Every structure is written in C-alpha cells, then in structure tokens.
A and B are shown apart, each in its own frame.
Chain A
Amino acid sequence: MQKVGANMDIQSSAWSCWLWAQSSLPVLKILGKCPELYQVKGALLQQRVDNLRKLGLVEGSLQRVVRHYPQLLTLPVKRVNGVSRFLREKCHLTAQQVTDVLRDSAAVVLEDMDKLEYKFQYAYFRMGLGQAEMVKSGLFRVSLEEVRCRHGFLERRGLYQTPDKKGQTRIVNPKLKDFLAVPEDTFLNKVAMATGEEFEVFRKLMDREIQEEEEPEFSGSDIDDE
C-alpha cells in the first residue's frame, strides 16, 4: 500500500497547501497512520476539507478529526454527506449534534448504514435514549454488537430498564457514559458488578441468539425436560 515515492512528489504541493499550514498537526504521524492519504489528489483533498468545514467542523475540530481519524479524508464527499444527512433525517439529530458526532465519532462514516439505523432504533426504542444522550454518551463510537451486548447484560441482570412512555423506570438506570464507551473492566467492575468470565460467556450466547434470530431455521433442539 505504501507507494510513497512518486505520488509524494506530485501531491506534495497539495499537502503543503493545507497540512503544512496546520502547525499543530503531526503530519508524518498522520500519514503513517493512514498512508492511503498519499493517493488523494490535491484538489480532491481540498474539496473534502471544505466539505467538512461546511458540516461545521471549524479549525480546532477539523484538526482534531484529521489527527484522530485521518481516514475521513479518504472518503468521497458523497459518502460523508450521505451519513450526515442520514443522521439528520433518520435519527433526527440537529446540525450541531451531527457536527459533534463527526468530530467525536468520525468512524461512524464507515459504518454500514443498515447497522447504523438499527443501532439508532435500538438505542431509541429499547434503551429509551434521546438524541442528546446518544451523542453525549458516545453511542456512535461503539459498535452495534457491543451496545446490544452491554445493554442486554445489564438488562438481564436487572440493572437497566427501558423507561415507560412517561420516561419513568422502577430502578435508577446507570449513566450511559459509565458503561457504553468505557473499557470493559470499568463496565464490569463499576456498573455490571460481574466477572469477565460471565461476560465472555454472555457475549458468546448473545452472538448466537442474534445469529439465530436472523436465520431461524438454524436453532436448538426440542428437548423434553422439566
């Protein structure tokens, strides 16, 4: 993948236009992280950067995104705008919330759209979350599988309840920021109060449950027991 030499010469002008101007950006580190960027033509790069600005990522945020997730600049404008439109129209996020998601959870643009939609619906209906909470808790940084797994684990342990129509629950749900986008240890020790072995088995069972929901013909045997 690392075809540095020739391309580097051709495009170095484009890079210096913008990247070198950003005195705070560790350019070499970024290129090392995402060598595909060498392949992006100067004009295209400019277009993509401009587009991100249009989506509300002004200088500080823009630099932050490029530093943490340079892959964003390898994607066509169409894709990025598609995801941003999806977040606004299907998930009813405000323009500011979309900007926040792009800044803090830029990988969202690579996610499968069907999964993204499912994740939103899961968070909205099953977990009872509002858009502001979704954005703040880092929901868009966590994979659908992980969200279902952690939430399902808490729910079955009796530690999380879907709020009713009035937004009420019989127990106090744990704060999302404490269990979604945190390391597994923290999740287990601070919130779930469970061991790693339990969670490991649960994850396997959950994977199988989901797989069988999707292809119901493959499922367990009928057992005569009681």
Chain B
Amino acid sequence: TKWAASQAKFPSTSLALQNFDVNYGTQLGDLWPSVRVSMLSEQKYGALINNFSDATEVMEELQSQGALDFVCSDFEQGDERQGTTEEYLHGDELSSVNATFSASETQEETVPPRLSPNIKCLVFPKGDISRFKPARPDSNRTLGYYLMDAASLLPVLALDAQEGHSVLDLCAAPGGKTLALLQTQAIGYLAVNDSSVSRMARLHRVLQNYIPREHWSEDQVRITSFDGRKWGELERDTFDRVLVDVPCTTDRHSLLEEDNNIFKKSRTKERQMLPLLQTQLLVAGLQAVQPGGEVLYSTCTLSQLQNECVVERALQVAQEELGITAHVQDLGPFAQLFGDTFRFAPKPRLGELVLPHLTANFGPIYLCKLHRSH
C-alpha cells in the first residue's frame, strides 16, 4: 500500500531501535545486547488467576501444562532463603564491624517483604517457551485467568494493599493491574481512573469478563475518567495506597509495532513531554496519598529519564512546591524474593528494574515505592 511505501523509509520501530541503541547502550553497557535480543523476540506472559472463577480447577489445569505460581513458590523459597539472607548480612556485618548497624535495622532487613495476599500468577519455567491458550469462560461466563507480562504484576505486589485500605489506581486502563488489585479481595475502597475514554471502555470489558455482578458494588469501586494530573486538587491526603502506572515509551511495543508507535515523527513532541507528564502524575499521586501512606510509581521502559529522574524530580517538586515529604523505600529484599523468576538490573540508583532476558523474557518494568511521611 501507499502508506507502507511512504513509511518504509523510516519505520517508527527502527527509529525506536536507533534511539535505544544510543541511550540504553550507554546506560546498560554490556547488558544491552542481551536485553535487546530479548525485546526483539517473543515475550513471555503470566496467567493471573481469577479468584472469581473456578480458580482451583484453572490452576490445576495450567499446572498440568507445566506452569508454576511464581508469587507463592518464590514466597516459600523466600522463607528458606531467609537463612542465606541472614548469613549474607551477617558476613557483611563482620566485614564492617566498625560500621554500626543498629540491631533493629538489621532485623528489619531480614524480615521478608509483605505481599498483597491472594494474588496468584502462573508462568512457564525459565527457558520454557510454551504459551498459554486464551482463557475460556466457565459456567458463569467468567474467565479463569488474565494474560499479562508477569513482571507488570510486581508493582501491584509491591504496593502491598492491606485489608480495608483505600486505593487509587491513577492510570488504570486497560486494567491488568486493577484486576490484580481486586484479586486481593481485601481492599476497602478502590478508585479506578484513566484519562482515556476509549481505553476505559476496554477496562470496563475486562472487569465484566472477570468479576461477576454479585462481587461488584458501586460503593467499593469507583470508576472515573479524569486527567490524573488534577487529582491532587480533587482529592488530597485521602488514600492508603496509590498506584501511578504512567504512560511511557512502552519500549517493547515501540520496537515491534508500527501501529500507535510513540516514535512516529508526528509524535516527537508528545514523546519529549513524557517525563514532564510522568512527573506531574507522580506528584498528583503524592498529593492524593495520605501521610503515612505509600505510592508506587511504575513504567514499562528502561529509560532513566522516565524512571529514576522522574522520581527524583517529583520528590523535589512535592517538597518544594507542596511541602510534601516522601522517601524512596528499599525494594531490594522484594527483588531478591523474585530473583528466580525475573532478572533485575544490578544496581539502579532508585527502585528496581526488571531487564528482559531470553530465558525469562518479561519486562522491562520499572518500579519505585515512595513512603509519604507528611
């Protein structure tokens, strides 16, 4: 077609690749080739189990195909591994006898991180390239599992929503993480928002297909379509937990799909404005959370400009312009817990970054947890 011919010269996917080669080549150094080949090859999915369906049956079927729950199995292994963690810390202490770790601090670090309960997600083991079949509706017409990048469950797990919490999902569509949040069956109140009306329609469809009517009440879940940047003005100091899963350069998508590609020449401006938009959304999240509460910032890009830099800038803006103080939480133990399933980047400045790897081709996913003190 004409379109293809005129696009062929500079396909957006090639522009994306060139951009990544320059930026991530520098950022990741020797790791970049292994990440590059992974992103250019078929990614792996996880099957988020729907507790509102015949979950046990569904799990058994997927397990019989060789898939394993990475949340729970890692959790158990985490308990075993605690020993090694202690040894490690112990050794560390010995080597730095003079650097006085206070006893309580050390203890805190060895406590395994708390995870949102009831979230189960099955993946095929390392190196296994089997695929999940699309989920089938059960007798209630409810789907048994939702296929998503397993790494994109990590932000929800790290958010750690507790019994009775009120939670805001600021950029929610198409709803994968919303669905995972609802699996906890613990949340007292959930506000679901996304500025895109068409993507919100997809979220509605997802909820319809996964959550039967009787489990659904308007005063527990509220769905809105506001510009998330305005949230701070709408509802301040309100939520226990806020998930800020921002729009980004969606690295994997940008390398593979011409359609809706943010590296299109015509979208250059929009792309350059992303860090600003992301910062504003994160600041709004920090305003919406109540003091003592937690905000989780996440993206599906490797870009430091959209990850660490946004977090730093947002913390600064929140402090200087709004008098909001927040601190980055250490997700190291959390990453360690899932180190068998995902490859984490060696030492990001802030937060954690899942790097795609051929044997565990999930991500990229960046996550950073912020605790608002006041």
Contacts and interface: CB of A to CB of B under 8 A. Distances in A.
A205 to B, nearest CB: 5
Contacts of A226: 174, 176, 250, 253, 300
Interface in B338-373: 357-359, 361
A172 interface: no
B197 interface: no
Interface string B147-191: 111001000000000000000000000101000000000000000
Contact of B41 (A156, A193, A222, A225): A156
B34 A198 contact: yes
A225 B131 CA distance: 15
B276 interface: no
Interface string A201-223: 11011001100000000001111
Contacts of A193: 30, 33
Nearest to B134: A221
Nearest to B135: A221
A200 B33 contact: no
Interface residues of B, number: 33
A157 B133 contact: no
A221 B131 contact: yes
B206 interface: yes
A122 to B, nearest CB: 18
Interface in A178-202: 193-194, 197-198, 200-202
Nearest to B40: A156
B37 A220 contact: no
B202 interface: yes
B328 interface: no
A66 interface: no
Given A201-B129, A226-B253, A209 B34 contact: no
B36 A225 contact: no
Contacts, number: 73
B132 interface: yes
A159 B32 CA distance: 11
Interface string A123-167: 000000000000000000000000000000100111100000000
B362 to A, nearest CB: 11
A202 B32 contact: no
B42 A220 contact: yes
B45 A205 contact: no
Given A156-B41, A157-B33, A158-B21, A225 B152 contact: yes
A224 interface: yes
B29 interface: no
Contacts of B25: 158
Contact of B32 (A158, A209, A225): A158
Nearest to A200: B127
Contacts of A223: 45, 147-148
A224 B174 contact: yes
A202 B41 contact: yes
B363 to A, nearest CB: 12
Given A201-B358, A204-B129, A224 B149 contact: no
A192 B210 CA distance: 44
Contacts of B33: 157-159, 193-194
A209 B45 CA distance: 17
Given A208-B129, A221-B132, 19 more contacts: A156-B40, A157-B34, A157-B36, A158-B25, A158-B32, A159-B33, A194-B33, A198-B357, A200-B127, A201-B129, A205-B41, A208-B42, A221-B131, A223-B148, A224-B174, A224-B202, A224-B206, A226-B174, A226-B176
Interface of B: 21, 25, 30, 32-34, 36-37, 40-42, 45, 127, 129, 131-134, 147-149, 152, 174, 176, 202, 206, 250, 253, 300, 357-359, 361
Interface of A: 153, 156-159, 193-194, 197-198, 200-202, 204-205, 208-209, 220-226
9 contacts: A158-B33, A159-B33, A198-B358, A204-B129, A205-B358, A208-B42, A221-B132, A221-B147, A223-B45
